[in-house]
Structure 1
Amino acid sequence: MTTSTKTPVQAPPQRVKTGSLLSRLTRHQIFIPIAALLILVVFNLIADPSFFAISLDHNSAGNPVLSGYLITILDNASELVILAIGMTLVTAASGGQDISVGAAIAIGGSVVLRVLCGTDSRPEVLHAPIIVAFLVCCLVSMLFGAFNGVLVAYFKIQPMVATLILFTAGRSIAAWINNNELPIISDATFGYFGNFIPGIPIPTPVFIAIVCMLIIAAALKFTNLGLYTQSVGINAHSSRLNGIDPAFIKFITYVIMGLCVAVAGFIKVSRFSTINYSVVAKDIEMDAILAVALGGSALSGGKFNMTASILGAYVIQFLTTTLFKFNVVSSALPAYKAVVVILLVVLSAPVVRERLGILAKRFSPAKPAKEVG
């Protein structure tokens, strides 16, 4: 009796579906801000390596503080990072941008000074605790954010047109709050929030920005804010059919924007312990919008990446500091920034990233077939 043995059937060779690493990177939202940051880093390394030097010095009060261009970038970008958080949510939900944030910062800062100074523009002592001034600033700024939100969400006004009202009138309102005076606060503790806390060499705004980033990260992770915001931005009608109130989601993003404005405004007035209504936070709304665009978020609403927007804010500040470092005339600064930013925004467009991905695949080495079995 003979037994036959069957040869096991070999499975046909299969190719491993692993795309090019470069191709995957170019399609990711965070690719453009990272690439822009690397270009700026390389440029400064070649032009002047001392750009990255950090030293321990002493400020006018004799306290040790870190100084250097990198510290300046981290410090000055703090307000922009906070605004980019709110601008990202507003853009994603409403498909438009809030151009009133600079004027709203002037209002918020003016409210802080009014609470702390009372009717005396040069008070010897503060008329209220600093925390009370901050909370009142938050309340007022959120009310103005709610005003914008009502116009956009319930009156269906295009966001840029709706926020143009506050953009036009905001600085006049700020001046009116303090009777067109420029209050000055002499209490040193108020300046801690915009500069340095004695004994801590890192600027306080850096810590405030980190706290804001942690709060929004927790909100996006543990609540449905991110999901609802993207859903409304992509298709408001479908969102309504799924039980989401698009108007309320749009409204709440503008209220959050107001809260971000309050924090940024508080930092701004704390830096100088006074305010100049006409120039404080001038054009910062444009930088915030550019940060969102660099982050790859759809300016027409929908998909967004908060991490990429925050990184975009640091890129914008890195670019600004670089231009100042090389003695670009301040009046010409916007023109230089515009040229560079246009290039970065074009590169961040989905169609361009798709073409880059195709190009990367074309030049990537072919993957060898991997046999299974």
Structure 2
Amino acid sequence: MTRPALPAWLSLVIRHPLVWPAVTLIALFVVDVAHRGSFLSITMLGGHLFGAPIDILMRAAPLVVVSLGMTLVIATRGIDISVGAVVAIAGAAAATVLSADPSRVGMAFGAALAVGLLAGIWNGLLVAFVGMQPIIATLILMVAGRGVAQLLTGGQIIPIGAPGYLFAGGGYFALIPCAVWIALAVTVLTALIVNRTALGLFIRSIGVNPVAARLAGLSSQAVVFGAYAFCGVTAAIAGILISSNVRSADGNNAGLLLELDAILAVTLGGTSLLGGRFSLAGTVLGALIIQTLTYTTYSIGVPPEATLVVKAVVVLLVCLVQSPAARTFAFQQLKRIALARRARA
């Protein structure tokens, strides 16, 4: 018995890298709507849009920003597990400036972005020029970064009350949270950089075969260095959004485990951990999946102690569905079951 051929258009749709992340996100929405019929309803409250979808977008914004930088790093066959610590350092740097003078909002933004850039430069130097393994190089900053953040905050949670700073993560512009606009701006900027310049081709070339890229005359060290520097800046932007939203800087807990969510978002979006193949749109979908999954587990009443387990199981299932080998194996098993039933009949 031969396998029935699928229509050409359907085969192309199934093989598209964004299909399964989109299907997963829609499935989570269906679960939420089934549990609460008003899940998709959006109303006006306090002069801005209010509802579960808006809340998910706002809370996913920092993860989207961090994941975009992580995407470029992973595309070069690297990884950055220090982004959570950089988030904490950026928020602590901004809070330190504002605690001295609440009117220095611009300086606070500049300080946060500067420490993020310095962190990215440090990682880039270790990986691209010193030649350290990416996971080891970024592990150094992951460990030391928390200490740096706690030194800046004195081991305390520093409250932030500057209205201009709080507007970035907690304010609204044109009815939409500012955090969503910032995440959208970073997404568009990143897409323009990798799609409208040769940098995207360079990143893919290095990820596919770094030796061949170097022999072709491509400065792979500069590209890898730039990817880590950019990742540091995106982590700093996320640090601004998070500290602004919670109105404080916490050197110990800010951005905790955010690097794991960022890696999950990138992989759920179809980016290969082996480098070369990446999708910014898939990364955004991956970040939305993770945030929607978090919202779903809490809304349907999953106990807090079991939330991480449920989250891990769902992510595992999504990754299996996205795997061509797993889909082929599942189809073969279903085919064997069907043939066995026919033989018994």
Q: Tell me if structure 1 keeps the 8 A contact 2:98–2:162.
A: no
1:154 aligns with 129
Shift of 1:161: 1.9
> AA paired with 1:37?
L
SS of the residue 1:66 aligns to: strand
CA distance in 2, matches of 1:300, 1:311: 20
Residue 60 of structure 2 is aligned with which of 69, 77, 97?
77
CA contact (8 A) 2:156 2:250 kept: no
Residue of structure 1 equivalent to 2:309 = 335
Tell me which protein shows more helix as a share of its residues.
Answer: 2
Which residue in the other structure is 1:132 paired with? 107
Displacement after TM superposition at 1:222 (Å)? 2.0
Describe how 1:186-265 pairs up with structure 2 within 5 A: 186-197=161-172, 200-265=174-239
Q: 3-state SS of the aligned residue for 1:56?
A: strand
- Residue 108 of structure 1 aligns to which amino acid in structure 2? A
Offset of residue 47 of structure 1:
2.5
Give 5+ residue unaligned stretches, structure 2.
1-5, 334-345
Identity within the alignment, % = 35
Given residue 97 of structure 1, which amino acid in structure 2 is its aligned partner?
Answer: I
Aligned to 1:26: 14
Q: CA deviation at 1:186?
A: 2.4
Gaps of 5+ in 1: 1-17, 59-63, 119-124, 360-373
Match of 1:103 in 2: 85
Residue 208 of structure 1 aligns with an amino acid whose one-letter code is I
* Cα gap change, 1:227 to 1:353, in 2 (>3 Å): farther
Looking at structure 2, the residues matched to 82 and 144 of structure 1 have their Cα atoms a distance apart, in angstroms, of: 16
Q: Distance in 2 between matches of 1:319 and 1:309?
A: 15
- Indicate whether 1:302 and 2:276 are aligned: yes
Does the 8 A contact of 1:83 with 1:257 survive in 2? yes
Q: How does 1:176-187 map to 2 (within 5 A)?
A: 176-187=151-162
Report Cα offsets for 1:238-260 as digits up to 9, x if no partner: 10121111122111100000110
C-alpha deviation, 1:200, in angstroms: 4.2
1:132 CA displacement = 2.1
Q: How many angstroms apart in 2 are the aligned matches of 1:140 and 1:266?
A: 12
Could you report, residue by residue, the CA deviation over 1:218-255 in whole angstroms, capped at 9, with x for unpaired residues?
11222111110010011001101211111221111000
Structure 1 CA distance for aligned equivalents of residues 191 and 150 of structure 2: 35
Deviation at 1:356, TM superposition (A): 8.6
CA 1:252–1:86: 2 relative to 1, 3 Å: same
| 8 Å CA contact retained: 1:296, 1:349 | no
| Distance in 1 separating the partners of 2:222 and 2:330 | 38
- Contact between 1:26 and 1:354, CA under 8 Å: does it hold in 2? no
Q: Distance in 2 between matches of 1:163 and 1:19?
A: 46
Cα distance in 1 for residues equivalent to 2:145 and 2:305: 24
Q: TM-score, normalised by structure 2?
A: 0.89
1:319 corresponds to:
293
1:164 paired to 2:139: yes
Give the C-alpha shift of residue 317 in structure 1: 0.8
Shift of 1:45: 2.5
Equivalent pairs counted in the alignment come to 329
> What is the aligned partner in structure 1 of residue 45 from structure 2?
57
Q: Quote the Cα distance in structure 2 between the aligned partners of 1:257 and 1:357.
A: 39
How far apart are the structure 2 equivalents of 1:92 and 1:186?
39
Larger Rg: 1
* 3-state SS, counterpart of residue 248 of structure 2: coil
- 1:158-186 CA deviation, whole Å, 9 max, x = no partner? 22222111111211110101333332232
Kept in 2, the 8 Å contact 1:24–1:357? The answer is no
CA distance in 2, matches of 1:299, 1:354: 21
How many angstroms apart in 2 are the aligned matches of 1:295 and 1:357?
A: 23
Query: In 1, are the aligned partners of 2:158 and 2:250 still within 8 Å (CA)?
Result: no
Give the aligned residue type for 2:124. G
Q: Which residue of 2 aligns with 1:4?
A: none
Larger mean Cα displacement after TM superposition, 30-39 or 350-359: 350-359
Tell me if 1:112 matches 2:98: no
What's the Cα RMSD here? 2.2
The answer (yes or no) to whether the contact 1:92–1:229 under 8 Å persists in 2 is: yes
CA distance in 2, matches of 1:84, 1:358: 35
Question: Match of 2:219, as an amino acid?
Answer: D
The answer on whether the counterparts of 1:90 and 1:257 sit within 8 Å (CA) in structure 2 is yes
Structure 2: how far apart are the matches of 1:253 and 1:353? 33
* Counterpart contact for 2:153–2:250, Cα < 8 Å: no
